[in-house]
Structure 1
Amino acid sequence: MPRARVRFKPPGNSLGGPFQLSREYPNDRFRLLSAYPAKDGLLVVLEATMSDPAVVLDLFEDAPETRVPSYNVLHVDEQTVLLQFQLPFIPAPFRAFLTSGNLPQLPYTIEDGWIVCELTTSHERLSEFRDELAKTGFRFEVDRVTQSVTPIDLLTDRQREFMLEAIVQGYYDTPRQCSLTDLATTLDVSKSTTSIVLHRAEETIVKEFFSASIE
């Protein structure tokens, strides 16, 4: 299933709160750690790592109750503020997630006024999410899309059989519990065949596992 890194931002006139701070303080970090729908809106946990955390506290202290009815400081130190606050409404992105059948995968970062997140979803649901956001005036961009594949799913039936038997027999244990010759005898094939099949399976798994790191 595709895994996408996407970003979206509210209409220009709606930039405020953490969105505004992320633009004014581009070298600092803002993350939405959780978001939970409640009876009267949405409960959100925000983490801000800044050179001057008091800026965040002042922002919420001055926020009108119509926008942020309540907030609690969960943690504060010289560089980090952790806040839980309530919004009196369900924001458009959260509604778009639910309507399009996607599950929010927190945490999200807020960068220069954009929410940036990862989604594991189908192409159809990603398009539906984009369309739902567009209805509310949100801008939407896709940074990248990669195909999420479990490496073992790329193996042939024979490669999978050989590797599973090697694991059961302890061939990959440290120290090894069986030799290549012992494994070949169990599989009833030659030692060279066993070596070739295992090597090709290992090559497939290792290359797929590290593919994202070397792109």
Structure 2
Amino acid sequence: ELDYLVGAVANPKKPFAAIVGGSKVSSKIGVIESLLEKVDILLLGGGMIFTFYKAQGYAVGSSLVEEDKLDLATSLIEKAKAKGVSLLLPTDVVIADKFAADANDKIVPASSIPDGWMGLDIGPDSIKTFNEALDKSQTVIWNGPMGVFEFDKFAAGTEAIAKKLAEISGKGVTTIIGGGDSVAAVEKAGLADKMSHISTGGGASLELLEGKPLPGVLALDDA
């Protein structure tokens, strides 16, 4: 498993895309910074996007925001530009009036989430844009869901990514699913056997992506 991951990340077929989701920027900083050194395209989803939106001056309603990471979000956007990485943030989001499976939901532009509403998934326009980017890729790493996929109303973004990766895997694209939530999402969609590689290592595969040496594994000296 480690050899496979090391090889795929060190010498990926290009274009190389990464999809990073999950609720917090703070837990994915190392991964994002490391991927910016390697990828051509970086797609961001999940709860962390609202910190990026707020950093850009968008109204985020009551969405999850890490106030102490706003400067970091801005610097990651700038770093992507400087490195020529195409950084894609969702342009529309599915919002909810409460954090619950039976919440009322609607789709709004990412830049205008009303007060009292929170973003819980990426919207249909974003799914389309993300799918187009993935169709151009030859290697894709996915870590972290696009929304609160445990609630059916907010699972469409994550399911769409799983379906798209299954489809492009069938066309010879290398698809690597790393991390517990992404693996769970792919299994929930019944598509686990369609991916090139599923890393059950979770945190370990992330540390590998970050270029951190794992105990008993050689450091990625020239990754």
- Which has a greater percent of strand? 1
Q: State the TM bucket, normalised to the shorter chain.
A: under 0.3
Task: Compare CA radii of gyration and give the structure with the larger one.
Answer: 1
- With the length of structure 2 as denominator, give the TM-score of the two structures: 0.23
Relative contact order (alpha carbons < 8 A, sep ≥ 6): 1 or 2 greater? 1
- With the length of structure 1 as denominator, give the TM-score of the two structures: 0.24
